[in-house]
C-alpha cells in the first residue's frame, strides 16, 4: 500500500457557461477567472508534494495537451490523453487501469474553486481512512442555498467521525425539493470529487460498467507513450460507452461514503458566480483589464484587452473576448448558452 | 442678384456627445448615424443643384479636409478651410467675405437630421423672400417637447405668410420655462440654420462684431487657394474673437426674422436621439453590424465591426468603436461625456 495519495485531475470538460471566454479549445479550467492562475493551476496547487500527494495524473483531451503543458510549467506530472470525450467514467477508468490496486486515487474536476484548502485537506484525510476500508468516497459540499443546478447526496449511517454511508443520490432537484433538503439538513451537493482505492474502483467498474472499464483497459494496453504522456488507443477507447461516474458506478454501488466538507467550494458555473468570487471594489464591481466605470455598481467587467466604459450600469456582466462582446444582467447568466449557441 | 441660393455648410464642429464614434478627428457630422450616408452627406443632398441651389461652400477645419473630400465624392463644391476653430461667427464671416453682396447664403449645420425635405424647401422659399427684403432669417423648429438643451426664439409680428419678426432669443431655459413656452405657443427652437443676403450680413457684422468680420476678411484676402479649397490665413484668422453667430449678430440685430418649420428636425445630440431616429425592429432594437440580441428590447447596438451579443438587456446603448466599448442606459446618454473625458 502506498503512503501517497495520487491526484487525478479531470481536464476533459468544455462547456459554454462562461462564453465567450470559454469556448471550443479554450475550456473554463484553463482560464484565469479568479486571479492570475487558471482554475486548473489552482487545482494542481491544491495537492502539493509536500502535503503528501503524488505527482498528479492529468486526464485531458488531445486538443488540450499543449495548454496543459504550458500551464503545468516545471511541475512533475503525467498525462493520460483521451482520444475522444467519453464522459467521466471512461476517463477515470483510464487512470484506474494504470494504477496499482492499493493506490488511493483522488479524482478532482479542474474547473472548480476551493477557497479553504485546510478544510479540503482535512476532508481528504477523513476520506482516505474510509477509502482504506474500501469505501468509495465522494466529498459532499455543504449547501448554503437551494441550488437546482447540482446533484444532491443524502447521508445515511455515520461512519465514525469521518463521514456517512451514502443513502442515495438525488439528481438536480426542483426548487421545492432543494428548499426542503436545505431545511432538513443531512444533504450535501455532489461536487464530483472522489477518493478510492484503485482496486476497489476496478472491481466496482467490472461489476457495474464492465464495458467501460474493459474498453479503457484495452486503450491503455495499446496506448502510445510519449515522454510523460500516455495517449490512449482511439479504437479501443471509442468502444467505451459514454457515461458519468455518478451514473455508472456511484449510484449503483452499495459501499459509497460521503465526507461532508465546508471548504469554500464553487463550481464557478456562471458569470454571476465569477462576480461573486472575484475581488470587488467598494461599489461591488469586479474588473479585469482597462475598464472605466461611472456611477455603476455590482458589475463584472472583463475587457479582453479592449477598453470598456460603463456609465450608469448596475448588475451587468460585460465580457469581451477577441471580437466577441457579451452584455447581460448577471442574474441572466444561465442564459449565456443562448448567445454561445448562436455564435459558435 | 443671383437666382441661386448658395448653401454654406458648417463642418467645423467636434464634440463628444456621440463618443466613442465621435471623437478627435472623427466628428459626428461625418458618421453614418442614421443610414448609409453621413449626416454631412445628407446635408449636401438636401440642397441639390436641380432644386435651385448653387454648388455648396463647405466650411471646415484643416483636420477634416481629407474626410470632406472623401465624402463629397464627385459633387462640385468649394471648401473654406478654417486654420483654427473660432466659432460660428468667424466661420460664417469667411463665407460672407467671399460672397457677392446680393448672393443669398443659406448657412446650415452639417450634423443635424431633417427628415422632411419638402417642408425644408418650403421654408427656404419663404425665407428667401424675407432675405430679399434684407431680413436675416433663422428657421425655427416647431417644438414637440419642453427641451432644455436648445435655445428658443419668440415670434413677434407676422411678416405676411412667410414668417415673423423675431421678438427675442431665449437661451437654454429651465424646464419650467420650457414647459411654459411649449404650452403658450409662438416659440420655436433655434436650429442654427440661417438665410440672408451676403451684403446684409456683412453690414450687420460690421455693426455688431466688426473685429470678427475684419479678421475673417483679411484671412480671406491673404488666403492660399489650392484647387477648390481656400485656406484662410492663420495669422489674421487667429485675431477673430471666438463667438457664435447667435450672440455676435442675431441677438443684436433688429431685423431678424424667423420662419417656423416642422421638418422632422433633430440635432441627433445623444445616443438616445440616434436610437429614436434609427430603424428599429419589432422589439425596438436598432442595430448596426453583427449583433445577436436575445430577450432584449429598445436597445441601440453599433458593433464597430465586432460581434456584440445581448441577453436580457433593455433600454441600453452598446457602442463599439475600435478598442472602445461603451455600455450605458439610453436615458443616461447625456453622461457619455464623463466617459469621453476619461478616455480621450
Domain ranges of chain B: 5-266, 271-343
When pLDDT is averaged across residues B282-301 and rounded to a whole number, the result is 97
CA neighbor of B218 nearest in space, from B246, B241, B240, B187: B240
Å between B302 CA and nearest CA of chain A = 12
Contacts of B318 in chain A (CB under 8 A): 325, 327
- Percent of chain A residues past pLDDT 90, beyond the cut: 89
Residue A313 has pLDDT above 70, yes or no: yes
Å between B290 CA and nearest CA of chain A = 10
List the single residue in A with minimal CA-CA distance to B308: A325
Q: B325 and A308: CB-CB below 8 Å?
A: yes
Q: Which residue out of A306, A312, A322, A341 would a mutagenesis test of the B interface target, given it has the greatest number of B Cβ atoms within 10 Å?
A: A312
Whole-angstrom distance, CA of residue B101 vs CA of residue B196: 10
Q: A292 and B343: CB-CB below 8 Å?
A: yes
Residue A254 has pLDDT above 60, yes or no: yes
- DSSP 3-state of A109: strand
Q: Is the CB of residue A79 less than 8 Å from the CB of residue A95? A: no
From the list A316, A332, A343, the residue facing B292 with the nearest CB is A343
When pLDDT is averaged across residues A150-169 and rounded to a whole number, the result is 96
Contacts of B325 in chain A (CB under 8 A): 303, 306-309, 318, 320, 325
Q: A339 and B294: CB-CB below 8 Å?
A: yes
pLDDT at B192: 94
Whole-angstrom distance, CA of residue B324 vs CA of residue A4: 52
When pLDDT is averaged across residues A245-271 and rounded to a whole number, the result is 95
From the list B295, B307, B343, the residue facing A309 with the nearest CB is B343
- C-alpha to C-alpha distances, B74 to B32, B68, B84, B176, nearest whole angstrom: 19, 11, 27, 48
Residue A287 has pLDDT above 70, yes or no: yes
Q: Is the CB of residue B240 less than 8 Å from the CB of residue B216? A: yes
Whole-angstrom distance, CA of residue A19 vs CA of residue A285: 20
pLDDT at B3: 64
Q: Is the pTM of this model over 0.90?
A: no
When pLDDT is averaged across residues B189-207 and rounded to a whole number, the result is 97
Task: State which H helix or E strand residue A178 sits in.
Answer: helix A175-184
Is there a cis peptide before residue B20, judged by omega within 30 degrees of 0?
Answer: yes
For the stretch B258-274, pLDDT in tens is 999 999 999 898 999 99
From the list A307, A310, A329, the residue facing B323 with the nearest CB is A307
- Cβ neighbours, 10 Å, residue A255: 13
Q: Are strands A187-197 and A152-159 parallel, antiparallel or unpaired?
A: antiparallel
Average per-residue pLDDT in chain A?
94
Q: B313 and A327: CB-CB below 8 Å?
A: yes
Q: Which residues, 6+ apart, have CB-to-CB distance to B259 below 8 Å?
A: B123, B126, B127, B130, B137, B138, B139, B140, B162, B163
Q: A311 and B332: CB-CB below 8 Å?
A: yes
List the single residue in A with minimal CA-CA distance to B337: A311
pLDDT at B61: 93
Whole-angstrom distance, CA of residue B204 vs CA of residue B208: 6
Q: Is the CB of residue B201 less than 8 Å from the CB of residue B211? A: no
* CB neighbour class for A277 (10 Å; exposed up to 12, middle 13-18, buried from 19): middle
- Percent of chain A residues past pLDDT 70, beyond the cut: 99
Q: A312 and B329: CB-CB below 8 Å?
A: yes
Cross-strand pairs, A16: none
List the single residue in B with minimal CA-CA distance to A318: B327
How would you label A140-178 residue by residue, b for 16+ Cβ within 10 Å and e otherwise? Answer: bbebeebbeebbbbbbeeebeebbbbbeebbeebeeebb
Q: Which residue out of A325, A336, A337, A339 would a mutagenesis test of the B interface target, given it has the greatest number of B Cβ atoms within 10 Å?
A: A325
Identify the contact set of chain B against chain A, taking CB-CB distances under 8 A: 20, 292, 294-295, 303, 305-313, 316, 318, 320, 323-329, 332, 335-336, 338-339, 342-343
Q: Which residues, 6+ apart, have CB-to-CB distance to B280 below 8 Å?
A: B286
Whole-angstrom distance, CA of residue B56 vs CA of residue A343: 46
List the single residue in B with minimal CA-CA distance to A290: B324
Q: B294 and A342: CB-CB below 8 Å?
A: yes
Residue A23 has pLDDT above 90, yes or no: no
pLDDT at A12: 82
Q: What confidence category does residue B12 fall into, taking pLDDT thresholds of 50, 70 and 90?
A: confident
Q: What confidence category does residue A3 fall into, taking pLDDT thresholds of 50, 70 and 90?
A: low
Average per-residue pLDDT in chain B?
94
Contacts of B294 in chain A (CB under 8 A): 335, 338-339, 342
| Long-range interactions of B288-294: CB distance < 8 A, separation 24+ | B289/B320, B291/B318, B292/A339, B292/A342, B292/A343, B294/A335, B294/A338, B294/A339, B294/A342
Contacts of B313 in chain A (CB under 8 A): 316, 327-329
Whole-angstrom distance, CA of residue A243 vs CA of residue A259: 24
When pLDDT is averaged across residues A238-253 and rounded to a whole number, the result is 96
Q: What confidence category does residue A1 fall into, taking pLDDT thresholds of 50, 70 and 90?
A: very low
Contacts of A23 in chain B (CB under 8 A): none
Q: Is the CB of residue A11 less than 8 Å from the CB of residue A29? A: yes
Q: A335 and B327: CB-CB below 8 Å?
A: no
Whole-angstrom distance, CA of residue A241 vs CA of residue A90: 8
Q: A327 and B310: CB-CB below 8 Å?
A: yes
| Least confident range of A23-27, A197-201, B95-99, B157-161 | A23-27
Contacts of A311 in chain B (CB under 8 A): 326-329, 332, 335-336, 338-339
B5-266: in CATH 1.20.1070.10: no
pLDDT at B1: 37
Residue B2 has pLDDT above 70, yes or no: no
Q: Is the CB of residue A276 less than 8 Å from the CB of residue A181? A: no
Residue A2 has pLDDT above 50, yes or no: no
User: Could you tell me where the DSSP H helices lie in A224-335?
Assistant: 234-237, 245, 271-277
Cβ-based contacts under 8 A for chains A and B: 106
Q: Is the CB of residue A190 less than 8 Å from the CB of residue A136? A: no
Q: Which residue out of B312, B314, B330, B332 would a mutagenesis test of the A interface target, given it has the greatest number of A Cβ atoms within 10 Å?
A: B312
Whole-angstrom distance, CA of residue A175 vs CA of residue A209: 32
Residue B122 has pLDDT above 60, yes or no: yes
Q: B335 and A325: CB-CB below 8 Å?
A: no
Contacts of B326 in chain A (CB under 8 A): 309-311
Q: A332 and B316: CB-CB below 8 Å?
A: no
Q: Are strands A265-266 and B300-311 parallel, antiparallel or unpaired?
A: unpaired
Residue B99 has pLDDT above 70, yes or no: yes
pLDDT at A120: 96
pLDDT at A214: 98
User: Could you tell me where the DSSP H helices lie in chain B?
Assistant: 39-45, 65-72, 87-98, 117-132, 175-184, 198-208, 210-221, 234-238, 245, 271-277, 336-343
Identify the contact set of chain A against chain B, taking CB-CB distances under 8 A: 20, 292, 294-295, 303, 305-313, 316, 318, 320, 323-329, 332, 335-336, 338-339, 342-343
Amino acid at each position: 500500500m502506498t503512503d501517497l495519495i495520487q491526484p487525478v485531475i479531470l481536464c476533459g470538460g468544455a462547456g459554454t457557461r462562461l462564453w465567450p471566454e470559454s469556448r471550443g479549445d479554450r475550456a473554463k479550467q484553463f482560464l484565469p477567472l479568479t486571479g492570475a492562475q487558471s482554475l486548473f493551476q489552482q487545482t494542481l496547487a491544491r495537492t502539493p508534494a509536500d502535503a503528501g500527494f503524488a505527482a498528479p495524473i492529468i486526464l485531458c483531451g488531445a486538443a488540450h495537451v499543449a495548454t496543459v503543458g504550458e500551464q503545468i510549467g516545471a511541475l512533475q506530472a503525467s498525462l493520460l490523453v483521451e482520444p475522444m470525450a467519453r464522459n467521466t467514467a471512461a476517463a477515470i477508468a483510464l487512470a484506474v487501469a494504470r494504477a496499482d490496486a492499493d493506490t488511493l486515487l483522488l479524482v478532482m474536476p479542474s474547473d472548480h474553486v476551493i477557497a479553504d484548502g485546510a478544510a479540503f485537506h482535512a476532508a481528504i484525510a477523513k476520506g482516505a481512512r474510509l477509502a482504506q476500508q474500501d469505501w468509495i468516497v465522494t466529498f459532499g459540499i455543504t449547501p448554503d442555498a437551494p441550488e437546482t443546478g447540482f446533484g444532491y447526496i443524502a447521508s445515511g449511517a455515520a461512519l465514525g467521525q469521518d463521514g456517512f454511508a451514502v443513502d442515495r443520490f438525488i439528481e438536480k432537484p426542483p426548487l421545492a425539493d432543494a428548499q426542503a433538503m436545505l431545511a432538513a439538513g443531512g444533504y450535501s451537493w455532489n461536487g464530483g470529487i472522489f477518493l478510492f482505492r484503485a482496486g476497489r474502483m476496478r472491481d466496482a467498474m467490472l461489476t457495474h460498467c464492465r464495458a467501460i472499464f474493459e474498453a479503457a483497459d484495452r486503450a491503455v494496453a495499446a496506448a502510445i507513450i510519449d515522454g510523460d504522456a500516455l495517449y490512449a488507443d482511439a479504437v479501443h477507447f471509442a468502444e467505451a460507452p459514454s457515461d458519468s461516474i455518478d451514473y455508472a458506478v456511484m449510484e449503483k454501488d452499495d459501499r459509497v461514503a460521503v465526507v461532508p466538507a465546508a471548504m469554500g467550494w464553487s463550481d464557478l458555473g456562471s458569470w454571476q458566480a465569477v462576480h461573486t468570487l472575484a475581488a470587488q471594489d467598494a461599489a461591488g464591481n469586479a474588473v479585469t483589464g482597462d475598464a472605466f466605470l461611472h456611477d455603476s455598481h455590482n458589475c463584472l467587467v472583463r475587457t479582453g484587452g479592449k477598453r470598456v466604459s460603463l456609465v450608469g450600469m448596475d448588475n451587468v456582466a460585460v465580457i469581451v473576448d477577441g471580437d466577441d462582446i457579451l452584455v447581460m444582467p448577471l442574474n441572466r447568466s444561465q442564459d449565456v448558452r443562448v448567445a454561445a449557441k448562436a455564435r459558435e
